[in-house]
Amino acid sequence: MARYTAARLGGPADYLYIAKDPSYSDLIPLLDQAWKRQTPVTVIGGGANVLVADAGIRGLTIINRATDISHEDDGDEAFVTASSGTSLIRLARYCQEHGLKGMEWAIAVPGTVGGAVVNNAGAHGGDVASSLTRALVLEAAGGERWYDADELDYAYRHSQLKARADKRFFIKHACFQLERDNPELIQKRMEQNNDYRRRTQPAGASLGSIFKNPLGDFAGRLVEAAGLKGARVGSVQVSPVHANFFINSGDAASARDYYQLICLVRERVKEAFDLTLELEIQLLGEWD
Ligand SMILES: Cc1cc2nc3c(=O)[nH]c(=O)nc-3n(C[C@H](O)[C@H](O)[C@H](O)COP(=O)(O)OP(=O)(O)OC[C@H]3O[C@@H](n4cnc5c(N)ncnc54)[C@H](O)[C@@H]3O)c2cc1C
């Protein structure tokens, strides 16, 4: 799975299917069969928020690459619909090109629309919850249905879908309601967001923020204050630029190294501040 995750880590999937058709006509029967047979199914978008174990993932793994965006104008607003495999950055660019504001925050956030809808991805004061109107979800229990945004229980990097233990669903499409604006002004705001990111966040293979920010504080500040900037396990390092980013800096790195660094940082922050950092990323596969 290393080639399908942003951290460039993770062992083999038993079965891998790369979805490319944005109507998902090929994927739906495959998912139905797998769910009926009780085969474990894992959906990966950009793999930008998941750490996959070195032992890999059992059952069927879907890599969602199906891309499609369209919009309908409605006066000063437009409703934009994207297939869940669409890159979030591509969606942000589409909105800029069509003079639609509200997705400027997403211009440098890796991953797909599906992952962003699950995680309530956000940056620079914006997030999915601010403009998503509804999402079309295929359910293992049978059929598909539109979820209105208010049913998704959105909060900071949280949704009802992320909290669901069964994971037996597949987001097909998402709709966003956006207002009209001058494309040049939108472009300007995107450039500002990109500049800020370049100044404050490290390059290299990572998963973005590892921990959620605790209320009223920043996980990166706590990790740094615990003296852990630059700490290493094997080839994985707490970034010297931003302490909530862990960088896989070498070919020899393993998911175990990455995980051990997470555990070490969590322990040290707990010792120093009596506070347990909550993971923002998700662990896939088996961990002990
Ligand atoms: C350098 C870097 C910077 C980042 N900066 C930010 C940031 O500023 N803000 C932010 O919020 N995040 C950030 N992230 C994290 C990441 O970009 C987001 O969490 C993103 O939304 C993940 O999308 P994905 O498609 O990669 O999801 P994945 O990691 O592939 O999956 C995440 C979860 O969503 C589920 N999922 C994905 N697609 C579907 C689907 N179609 N149906 C059902 N379930 C699905 C997966 O099963 C998994 O549980 C950053 C990551 C990196 C590497």
| Residue-by-residue pLDDT tens, the chain, 288 positions | 999 999 999 999 999 999 999 999 999 999 999 999 999 999 999 999 999 999 999 999 999 999 999 999 988 899 999 999 999 999 999 999 999 999 999 999 999 999 999 999 999 999 999 999 999 999 999 899 999 999 999 999 999 999 998 899 999 999 999 999 999 999 999 999 999 999 999 999 999 999 999 999 999 999 999 999 999 999 999 999 999 999 999 877 899 999 999 999 999 999 999 999 999 999 999 887
C-alpha 64 chain-centroid distance: 13
> Residue 252's closest CA among 46, 8, 53?
8
Take residue 48 and report the two structure tokens written for it: 């930008």
Please give the distance, rounded to the nearest whole angstrom, from the Cα atom of residue 45 to the centre of ligand 1. Answer: 7
Q: Quick one: CATH architecture of 69-200?
A: 2-Layer Sandwich (3.30)
Equal fold, 2-64 vs 219-284:
no
| Domain 2-64: assigned CATH number | 3.30.43.10
Q: Cα(140)–Cα(128) distance, rounded to whole angstroms?
A: 24
CA–centroid distance, residue 49 to ligand 1 (Å) = 4
Atom number in ligand 1 closest to CA 43 = 47
234 contacts: CB under 8 Å, gap ≥ 6: 250, 252, 253, 254, 257
Residue ranges per structural domain of the chain: 2-64, 69-200, 219-284
Which residues does the annotation mark as catalytic? 157, 209, 280
CA–centroid distance, 86 to ligand 1, in Å, is 12
Within 6 Å (CB) of ligand 1, which residues are found? 6, 43-50, 64, 84, 109-112, 114-116, 118-119, 121-123, 169-171, 206-208, 282
Pick the CATH number of 219-284 from 3.20.20.70, 3.90.79.10, 3.90.78.10, 3.40.50.970: 3.90.78.10
